[in-house]
Structure 1
């Protein structure tokens, strides 16, 4: 393989002379200043032509190569499994694209809000938006009008495609007399509904083919808003080339799927973890995805059973619960499982392996980086480690001055590769990127063999009486106790110690929440880890605050720990 091409943080294009196809340059004009971009580097996997449309590469290419009859999407309709081929998906995407351009009169570079659960029309709407040269702004289904307004205003969204069952909140954004009115949002079409105003009605009679927009590889196709684990979402900007890069590194080198694989899982398409795992990864290689709107640990196992799924993506919480239920389902088709979104406790990894025989593929990624950049699978898994750097990326552990530290030293993770952070008009860009490196905000330790061991989010490191204590380490210890179903650990302000370790614990059914249980858990931690790390405060709660993607919202736990009360 040829040496990587290094592109300094000095502009948008990797291909000189690749003119933008965007007529509306709002998003491009609000990219961060060139000097605040990360350094980008490309290898044989990620060098793309100057002109590139990601939707064409994901769908139309398979049809043109004679694979149009392969199944692209599987979903349930009226109690039975329906399959959609690549040729059928291409036709559906094209009809939606005609509505976007002809009926909604959108031009390349306009932003389109996408709102829906993981279903066929949500997936096709994303692809049609990209194929048309528009910029997709996907949103989580549970967002309210107030949260949608922040996104619409930030991205200056003028149009939306929305599942009809979710229209109530978006309607509030269109009411001129309402407190969440968004004057830029002028055109909305609703899918999975009926009536003359539905997207399906507008699609009726549209051609099955659509000439894709001749976009540049570095034209923006996606603004992905962060899931809000730190409070205020940020808009991360990604190019057409970024969509392909996320497909051509982690899947190719770590997951190693084949065209015969069937993907499934819980992360929403609106979240880049789900966009990759539920849509782009399978489409890139000509495989299929089994989409489902609302899943519980039990119904996800049933989906694996019914669709004979081979690859599953979900969060550690689901894996922990599924490990106790797996024996009730025939999931022998399952070969690979990917965990991401938050730290994977070793107790969960071992419980899943004992239940299924499958070694978990843990992954570290982020909305800013598009997808996973540290991971290992199968025999390459090392106990306690997330994994090694995915080929195509480069990582190091640095100190506060951005200087590399020796193996075995705890520090900040810095990473760079073909994808990287570009916030939409946001001063936080300079905090995420330093000296050309992306700083995801994670504290790690790397060993001499290049394995990366997660310690904590940088803001989750608890400093108590001069000791540095990683909240996730304490969580992992508590999770091994038979009393504990879930837990979250943060630091609470303390006049004597600076901070004290505070654990919010969800107990298993039948365990009494009292002082005896609290003492039992504290004593257990003292035996399992250094005694100074034990949780001096334990609060028993019915549930932990999580984002819609399943991430623990530790900032809310910190608020509660310092203000008193329950999450």
Structure 2
């Protein structure tokens, strides 16, 4: 994208009657560029596997036929839990091809988490890597699950081993009925600040077609690119940057399979050795990477870098740009959506801003009555869904009328996040509606306080919440992880308070500072402020 305004004005959603990402996208690439590199996989041990578009087509046909041979049919629901191994992509594409609804789960889930998902989603089958089987102990007979498929050797009954065949030879290939664009595609489980995870239903088009925006415009991909997104297979970010986004544009999907603790130096070495051209990571990873000696790595192949998950602190963006010359361009969206707001290549970067609305979406900042607020005023981020609903939006929350009603306000879908839009159309993130702190009559977004803290050399990470206070409503409390070489002390706490007062408005300083060794986070790396609020004392 070179001209954002022209692209935004001209964009129109494709709305076919039938659509299937495996048949309509993957197979097209296989016809046009059969020997083109589609998947480049490597792991911590240095092993590497390469797959062309024709390889991916054959493997996914084989997977679809295998699942059908196990009695699974269009509309059935399959829970899939695997690490970053190539078979995950083949089996997911097999599900898509056969119209089987897949439900990704991270290998970090517990037995309790899995049981809840199998029951509430009425799963018909489970696909799991052998490395994850201990999480399924005692779950045989749960809900409607009748089919248990393992990937790898050594799984006991009732598990049936996935027969990968000799390179996906076609032993299980078959013919599958076309899927409608509005047929169900996948179900994600997304956690809120209260209650159990909600089920987010996407259709064949909402992700398969919707992520054209993500791949073509925000990730800025072409068939000549090698793209790496840092994501677990259980996160929606995997669909954004490791499946629909890059493969919609014919780019090579670079996968780094690591199972232990994230080591930023090893990832930087992968970017170097695999000649990655475009790269996306969550803020937690970016914060760790900029602490490395970036000049010690050859990152010259990179031409475009992005971040998503939650806002990225300006000092991280500045450090990366000073070392590489590249601006980390942010993108905003949800499990329920594709990218909604982004710092697109055709948009002049503004450090700290989310960017501008994505082509195909009308994004506004609204009040409690569903009216757009004036520029410069804070409100709820919302997407217009009437008179025409955008393609890249979820179908709804399954079996949850209350959640579906709560996210609708007049002609708008309300995201639950708050922002300010300026006179030039840039959006500036404030925080989750539930995270905004009300102190002494002021409204304070935790992100701005966290950003101020991170500008201090002693701070590696921070999380800010509001703690109930009889006098001022809420007082600001900060949890701080210190950088190497710094130790907790009352003097340092005072120094950080004064630093925030001078960096941002004085009323935003944290009255309480607690030094911790780590922050609670979701599996996708977002800070769990709700957990901190639950443990904070008055």
Q: Give the alignment's TM-score, normalised by structure 1.
A: 0.87
2:255 equivalent to 1:291: yes
What CA distance in whole angstroms lies between the structure 2 residues aligned with 1:347 and 1:198?
50
From 140, 161, 180, the equivalent of 1:199 is: 161
From 374, 379, 385, the equivalent of 2:353 is: 385
Deviation at 1:195, TM superposition (A): 7.0
Deviation at 1:229, TM superposition (A): 5.9
Bigger shift: residues 411-420 or 309-318: 411-420
Deviation at 1:212, TM superposition (A): 3.3
Deviation at 1:355, TM superposition (A): 2.1
Partner of residue 318, structure 1:
285
What CA distance in whole angstroms lies between the structure 2 residues aligned with 1:231 and 1:343?
24
Pair 407,228 (structure 1): closer, same or farther in 2 beyond 3 Å = closer
From 70, 75, 82, the equivalent of 2:36 is: 70
Partner of residue 479, structure 1:
454
What CA distance in whole angstroms lies between the structure 2 residues aligned with 1:411 and 1:424?
27
2:527 equivalent to 1:552: yes
Structure 1 stretches lacking a partner, 5+ long = 1-41, 177-181
From 308, 312, 318, the equivalent of 1:350 is: 318
1:58-457 alignment, distance < 5 Å = 58-64=25-31, 66-76=32-42, 79-102=46-69, 104-174=70-140, 182-193=142-153, 199-201=161-163, 203=165, 206-207=170-171, 209-227=173-191, 232-294=196-258, 295-325=262-292, 326-369=294-337, 371-378=338-345, 380-416=348-384, 417-421=390-394, 422-426=396-400, 427-457=402-432
What CA distance in whole angstroms lies between the structure 2 residues aligned with 1:507 and 1:397?
36
Deviation at 1:412, TM superposition (A): 0.9
Are the equivalent residues in 2 in contact too, given 1:399–1:411 (CA < 8 A)?
yes
Deviation at 1:95, TM superposition (A): 1.2
1:538-549 alignment, distance < 5 Å = 538-549=513-524
Are the equivalent residues in 2 in contact too, given 1:75–1:291 (CA < 8 A)?
yes
Structure 2 stretches lacking a partner, 5+ long = 1-8, 385-389
What CA distance in whole angstroms lies between the structure 2 residues aligned with 1:253 and 1:308?
21
What CA distance in whole angstroms lies between the structure 1 residues aligned with 2:215 and 2:242?
12
What CA distance in whole angstroms lies between the structure 2 residues aligned with 1:198 and 1:84?
25
Deviation at 1:318, TM superposition (A): 1.0
Deviation at 1:43, TM superposition (A): 8.2
Partner of residue 485, structure 2:
510
What CA distance in whole angstroms lies between the structure 2 residues aligned with 1:161 and 1:410?
45
Deviation at 1:442, TM superposition (A): 1.0
Deviation at 1:489, TM superposition (A): 0.2
Greater RCO (CA < 8 Å, at least 6 residues apart): 1
Pair 332,248 (structure 1): closer, same or farther in 2 beyond 3 Å = same
Q: Give the alignment's TM-score, normalised by structure 2.
A: 0.91
Pair 283,382 (structure 1): closer, same or farther in 2 beyond 3 Å = same
**Secondary structure of 1:256 counterpart:** coil
Bigger shift: residues 354-363 or 188-197: 188-197
What CA distance in whole angstroms lies between the structure 2 residues aligned with 1:322 and 1:234?
32
Are the equivalent residues in 2 in contact too, given 1:505–1:538 (CA < 8 A)?
yes
Are the equivalent residues in 2 in contact too, given 1:57–1:284 (CA < 8 A)?
no
Provide Cα deviations, 1:12-67, integer angstroms capped at 9, x if missing partner: xxxxxxxxxxxxxxxxxxxxxxxxxxxxxx98642232111122133112123x31
**Secondary structure of 1:151 counterpart:** helix
Partner of residue 179, structure 1:
none
Are the equivalent residues in 1 in contact too, given 2:66–2:163 (CA < 8 A)?
no
Provide Cα deviations, 1:81-128, integer angstroms capped at 9, x if missing partner: 3210111111111111111111x2011100011101222011111111
**Secondary structure of 2:35 counterpart:** coil
Deviation at 1:465, TM superposition (A): 1.7
**Secondary structure of 1:333 counterpart:** coil
**Secondary structure of 2:305 counterpart:** strand
What CA distance in whole angstroms lies between the structure 1 residues aligned with 2:110 and 2:143?
17
Deviation at 1:240, TM superposition (A): 0.5
Pair 143,365 (structure 1): closer, same or farther in 2 beyond 3 Å = same
What CA distance in whole angstroms lies between the structure 2 residues aligned with 1:208 and 1:83?
22
What CA distance in whole angstroms lies between the structure 1 residues aligned with 2:298 and 2:193?
35
Pair 57,299 (structure 1): closer, same or farther in 2 beyond 3 Å = farther
Deviation at 1:186, TM superposition (A): 1.7
Q: Which runs of 4+ in 1 moved over 4 A?
A: 42-45, 194-198, 202-206, 227-231
What CA distance in whole angstroms lies between the structure 2 residues aligned with 1:128 and 1:405?
46
2:508 equivalent to 1:533: yes
**Secondary structure of 1:173 counterpart:** coil
